[in-house]
Amino acid sequence: MSNTQKLTIIAINSRNGVSAKTGRPYSMHEAQCILTEEVVDANGATAAQVKVGRVNVADELKDTTPGDYLADCKLFVSRDGELVARIVGLKALNVRPAANAQKAQAAAS
């Protein structure tokens, strides 16, 4: 079962190395994100609540362009035995590819 959240990806950072324990290579990818949620107060009024943090990203999403997305998340067990979320799918919301933005800027000059 997965959970979908709207979030803004600011950047994706990758770390690569070799496990000291197993000797096998690894790569990890974390997205720096802004999560905006609507919260209902005691009077029934809604307000936006902003949270900033990092979340793991599946290998196939490591080259994702920063922007707004609907993120499909699943829980996984970390090597420390903790349940952690990982983004396993993304659907772009109003994302302009960098190549098109550069072409538009060049045409305007």
pTM: 0.71
> What pLDDT, on a 0 to 100 scale, did the predictor assign at position 5?
85
* Strand 3-18 versus strand 25-40 pairing type: antiparallel
> What pLDDT, on a 0 to 100 scale, did the predictor assign at position 26?
87
For the chain, give every domain's residue range. 3-108
Residues 6 or more apart whose Cβ sits within 8 Å of residue 22: none
Which residues of the chain fall below pLDDT 50? 100-101
CATH class as words, domain 3-108: mainly beta
C-alpha–C-alpha distance, residues 7 and 100, integer Å? 22
> What pLDDT, on a 0 to 100 scale, did the predictor assign at position 21?
84
> What pLDDT, on a 0 to 100 scale, did the predictor assign at position 96?
57
